[in-house]
Structure 1
């Protein structure tokens, strides 16, 4: 009886080495990856039988104290610990709102003088301005940025840092979807990505969690060359997970000059 909680605990347990938590035993002496179940239980101060029930999905609502102890043993950061806590709480799927870009947001995107587009929680581009489309084909309306990033060779031509950022992209997706993993659209997307990309499949199995925010993007444009841009993600208030994404360059840099040419 599998559960998201059990899958998460198992994946994160396999990533922790005995030496990380002060236990003896090198990797060559062990038949399992990472920590054994009984070692996690001992370090968390719970019985091995109870921890086994958690991993097997036979118990899905551990106490706050147990969750905090497991987060410490599994060396989870703040985002990972928050995700573990969410997985351990009873939940109902929230009602979905209509997935439309508000007219005012669309107007704003079209009038901005920097590349801008709006994506939904599944990374479908819903609207984009002409600068975004000119900057990268991955920013055009109708493109699913996840599928393109992991399966489209053109994506790597325009985005040479894709492999470098792949783990972060997948970890952000897990964080944003959260516990709503029984969403049919989400399940279909993950299934398609897992079939088409071994890289995605391996990263998804790690159950990494990372909250997204401002970061940088390296874009290799066939006409204006390499651009190093800031990328900002702004939540669209009142929508069901829509984000407006903007790219801009530091004034006076070669990237700013190249962006101006577009």
Structure 2
């Protein structure tokens, strides 16, 4: 049984509600469920399932062709908000895969978790038919971003002139806040990619579980290795395990959100 977009979004809501109360029965889980948190495989009932989490500001995207749904927002653990992302894969009406990212970086130069409490309505805006791209176009637009990051070349992606990027809720392009950050610069989306060359980034394990042509949204999971720099230590050195959400209009990136957790360099994503 295949589920449409609305049904998959309902399944995500039901899944998170079950996690919040630790109810494995109502979650509709397959017997062989694969479950991970920050790249670590866990048995159902472990991790978030026994921490009574709350979920706020959840924005969900779904793809009936892949049978997957992805959300981003905030998870409350012991009353403290943390950036959060979740993916589920539904087949035959039950959840066969569940993948969560729970960030340990809620506030700082490159994180502002409170901003995730109010989802950006730009993502839910329907793209007019004459300004849409097909599924391959959505995947290409997102993949060009990861390739631009890997090659430290901001000319590879196609950025709309209004495009901005947000990391764990914090606006990190075209803002003075980055002038006070370890980078000490004000970046555009393109220059932010150009400036990573010294860290020799490698963008690997790219996946695209959601490609929604009507909304122009591509959701991608990826691991990006940032290598340490001897004369300019980076606070993000390590493997960035993240969800990237891209709004694509006219084949250009209009807005980018990243929910990420930094793991030891070389860490696998588990998928």
Name the TM tier (shorter chain).
under 0.3
Q: If you compute each CA radius of gyration, which structure gives the higher value, 1 or 2?
A: 1
TM-score, scaled to structure 2: 0.26
Higher helix share: 1
